[in-house]
Structure 1
Amino acid sequence: MAKNSDTAFRVREAYGRELSPGETVFDEGDSGDNLYVIQAGEIELVREGPSGHRVVARLGPGDFFGELSLVGGQRRTTRAVAVRRTRVLELDRATLESMCLAQPEIAIRLIRFLASRLIEAERRLASMGVDDLLRPVVRALVRSAEADPDADKSGKKAFRVPINLRALSDQSGLSMLEAHRALHQLFDQKLLRLIDDALVVPDLEALSGCLDQADAA
């Protein structure tokens, strides 16, 4: 027991970070390869959207965050802010791998946590109607087309939309998973195509018509 307590103390001393209320851990769009474990306090994960910021999660002691950047190497998809005085462990990839090898229960707990996040996201998607996903994505695509000087506003000619999944997620106020699901619905309806890793609108009028139908529903 004393050995475990000593190990925990050394981990806190080496990787612990104290956060003041309102302090930002990382911003949306930041690069990063650290995962954080909350030991005490509370963290808000916030995403910026067209109508302002939206709190997507509130996390407490024992929760992880920042895992997507660590595992997938992608940029931060939210801003992490301390709600009150908070203490976290800040772990880089090498440190986490070493800890998982030394204590397999850490790896098991992390896998369970990631699985619960995925299940939660799938449940949220299942509870959302088709229009809940399509409407904000189509609006973002139409806005992007209207802002492009090379786009054919008559809708008679196919053109590439200068937007990627991350930007689409930001502009629609949806998560990247939700925006991805909406894109596939548009692919299925032939309102959008993917050519050479670029989004192509075959008919702007038809895409705008999809938005009109959703608003009228």
Structure 2
Amino acid sequence: MELDAFSRFARTYQKGEIIFSEYEPGDTFYLIQSGRVQLVKIIGNIEKILDILQPSEMFGEMAILEDSPRSATAIALDPVKVLEFNRANFEVLMMGNPQIALKLLKLFTKRIYDQKRRFMILTLEDPQAKVADVFLMLDETQPNIDKTTDQREFKTTVEDIAHWAGMNADQTRDILNHFVNQRRVEIFPDRIVVKNINDFQRFVNSRRKKT
């Protein structure tokens, strides 16, 4: 994405520096040029890692789109360089660079969906339902998944599932082994197979209604 013309909007943050905090008002969003940014959220008095963002990814865009307080805290994991946009210079960007604007709008759409979908997983109280819902999310969003049968094959790892569920790897592995014993999943070194994705859908729906 050609953004050299917007170097005047560049800002840098040192490792460990808080870029913004959950619940504070915000009118800016950020596009990462270098370094990684960690998003964390307090859920039930426990700090959960929502995501670790890489260069070319954006964050904080809900402040522009919904005029809402920050839904998470953003922390620089490395020395970070970002482009910082507010409503005024975002309009300049949109008007002067339609190709970039289109790319940003597509990114906005995906980020909004990802954040809302991830929050749906984290708000489930049942850890087994959280793990099952991660597979449902992957089924909704991953390309090139064969959906001609109820069985699904995901090129993912236990650690990936744990990350999305907001749980530690050991607890996630225990739950997956429980699913293996129930013959609901099979675990391979490079993939995890869900025997019946609709079974997980019914299971998650029943747990979500209870919460």
TM-score range (shorter-chain normalised) is 0.5 to 0.7
- Of residues 28, 50, 58, the one that matches 1:56 is 50
Whole-Å separation in 2 of the counterparts to 1:33 and 1:107: 18
Say if 2:62 and 2:112, in contact at 8 Å, map to a contact too: no
Pair 24,127 (structure 1): closer, same or farther in 2 beyond 3 Å:
closer
Residue 30 of structure 2: aligned partner: 36
How many residues were matched structurally? 133
Is 1:11–2:6 an aligned residue pair? yes
Pairs within 5 Å for 1:122-141 = 124=118, 132=126
Structure 2 unaligned runs (5+)?
130-165, 167-206
Indicate the percent of aligned positions where both proteins have the same amino acid: 27
Say if 1:131 and 1:214, in contact at 8 Å, map to a contact too: no
Root mean square deviation, CA, Å: 3.5
Whole-Å separation in 1 of the counterparts to 2:18 and 2:121: 31
Pairs within 5 Å for 1:17-166 = 17-121=11-115, 124=118, 132=126
Deviates further, 80-89 or 103-112? 103-112
Q: 4+ runs of 1 displaced by more than 2 Å?
A: 117-133
Pair 32,120 (structure 1): closer, same or farther in 2 beyond 3 Å:
closer
Structure 1 unaligned runs (5+)?
136-172, 174-210
Give the SS at the match of 2:68.
coil
When Rg is computed on C-alpha atoms for both structures, the one with the higher figure is 1
Say if 1:40 and 1:86, in contact at 8 Å, map to a contact too: yes
Equivalent AA in structure 1 for residue 108 of structure 2: L
Equivalent AA in structure 1 for residue 62 of structure 2: L
C-alpha distance after superposition, 1:167-217 (max 9, x if no partner)? xxxxxx9xxxxxxxxxxxxxxxxxxxxxxxxxxxxxxxxxxxxx9x959xx
Pair 85,112 (structure 1): closer, same or farther in 2 beyond 3 Å:
same
> TM-score, length-normalised on structure 2?
0.54
Whole-Å separation in 1 of the counterparts to 2:41 and 2:111: 17
Pairs within 5 Å for 1:173-184 = none
